[in-house]
Structure 1
Amino acid sequence: MAAAGRQARNETAVWLLRLAGTLLLAALLAYLIGLIGFIQSLEKKAPAALAPADGIVVLTGTPERLSEAMGLLDSGKAKRLLVSGVNPEVTREELRAALKADQALFDCCVDLDWRAENTIGNAIETATWAQENAMQRLIVVTSAYHLPRALRELQSAMPEAELTGYPVFQDQVRLDDWWAYPGTAKLLVSEYTKYLVSFARTYLAPPVPGS
């Protein structure tokens, strides 16, 4: 009887290990399929035409993002620009000088947010800025790989807003043949993982209309 009991426990343990292995393999496969789909869905070029909006928000991270956002403001795509997530050690004048922005345009139409420390913070600060300026239509400027998560967070923070993504590209991030570049591959895996966390968080705590 004791031997039979031990054999049954061993068989159960083996079955549980096989089940765990199968589930782990299935989860890994699902993750890889999702990752490939995520990368394929990323914008590969900037939109050919962009309708004017009430405001533009750019999430800091690379100089290219800021330059593109200033270009959109200068071309009249919106009347105001929010630069969200500015380093607290960077002054307004230092940022303007780094961008080589027109003094009059920068002084009249560019707002800086020094509080946001991450994408969630960007969304909160942008929602506050948009509400204070009675804005409903925003152009969101950030890196192409970051855009899906940024739009997800901003839409969660301001569900009634109309958001248009404007992807920015960097030469060192190769989206077409990403698998051949370890740095790009690592970046995209990290961003996809963050996107899954963001999706789960905003799905489990959906925005309240009118909030």
Structure 2
Amino acid sequence: MIRYVLSTILLAWALGFLWFAVFLPQPAGNARTDAVIVPTGAAGRIQQGLAVLDAGFAERMLVSGVAPEVRPAEFAAEFGVSPERMECCVDLGFAAVDTKGNASEIAAWVEANDIASLRLVTTDWHMRRAASELDRTLPAEVEVVRDAVRSEPSLASLFIEYHKLLASGAGGLVGI
């Protein structure tokens, strides 16, 4: 009986990992939302968020999890954002240090800015966990469009992120 249970668990884990690694989330296309949200992290996220803003698919942008020592002028210079664009449309969030913290920071910003729909821009391998944390944190009426930045993650990165997703899901089930 124990072998059967352990074999079933191992098979479920392996099939889950295969699904996770092979069917990575995709870009969202031209969906229009009130805001674009970008958790800091892997390359390409902030550039994609700014491209969404420049294309008019969102009016505002929050970059969540910015290091406390980063100044808005430094951010603007690094990513080629005009002072006018920074002033009107780009907010930097400094409170988050991890994915769960990003969700809390984003939820507070969404509430403070009366956002009804948002586009979450993050790396394809990170999207499921980031969206899951947001789903637990945001009010149900806030629409979240998932906009994955394509990447070429290593097997090790996928392995680690898959286990973080499983732990995050388990934590959500028990309320941690």
TM-score by length of 1: 0.77
Q: Aligned residue for 2:133?
A: 153
Deviations 1:148-180 (A, max 9, x none): 11110001001321100110123xx25xxxxxx
Counterpart of 2:169 in structure 1 is 199
Report deviation, 1:23: 4.0
1:115 and 2:95 equivalent? yes
Deviations 1:57-85 (Å, cap 9, x if unpaired)?
00101231000001111111111100000
Letter in 1 for 2:169: F
SS in structure 1 of the partner of residue 121 of structure 2: strand
Task: Find the aligned partners of 2:113 and 2:58 in 1 and give their Cα distance.
Answer: 12
Letter matched to residue 13 of structure 2: Y
Gaps of at least 5 residues in structure 1 are 1-18, 175-183, 207-211
Q: In 1, are the aligned partners of 2:27 and 2:146 still within 8 Å (CA)? A: no
Corresponding position of 2:46: 66
Tell me the residue number matched to 1:40. Answer: 22
1:1-211 map, 5 Å: 20=2, 23-43=5-25, 45-47=26-28, 49-160=29-140, 161-170=142-151, 173-174=152-153, 184-205=154-175
- Root-mean-square deviation (CA, aligned residues, Å) is 1.8
Structure (1/2) with the larger helix percentage: 1
Q: Secondary structure at the match of 1:96?
A: helix
User: Deviation of residue 22 (structure 1)?
Assistant: 5.0
Whole-Å separation in 1 of the counterparts to 2:30 and 2:132: 20
The one-letter amino acid paired with 2:143 is: E
Normalised by the length of structure 2, the TM-score is 0.91
Q: Distance in 2 between matches of 1:26 and 1:71?
A: 45
How big is the shift at 1:21?
A: 5.2
Deviation, 1:91, is 1.2
How far residue 55 of structure 1 moved from its aligned partner, in angstroms, is 0.9
Query: CA deviation digits over 1:87-145, x for unaligned, max 9?
Result: 11211111111101222112211111111000000000000000001111010000001
Which amino acid letter does the alignment assign opposite residue 205 of structure 1? G
In the alignment, structure 2 segments of 5+ residues that lack a partner are none
Q: What SS does structure 2 have at the residue aligned with 1:190?
A: helix
- How far residue 51 of structure 1 moved from its aligned partner, in angstroms, is 2.1
20-29 or 94-103: bigger deviation: 20-29
Aligned length: 175
For 2:130 and 2:103, locate their aligned partners in 1 and report how far apart those are by CA, in whole Å. 8
Corresponding residue for residue 181 of structure 1: none
Rg (Cα) greater in structure: 1
Letter in 1 for 2:18: I
Q: Distance in 2 between matches of 1:159 and 1:188?
A: 29
Q: Which moved more, 1:158-167 or 1:23-32?
A: 23-32
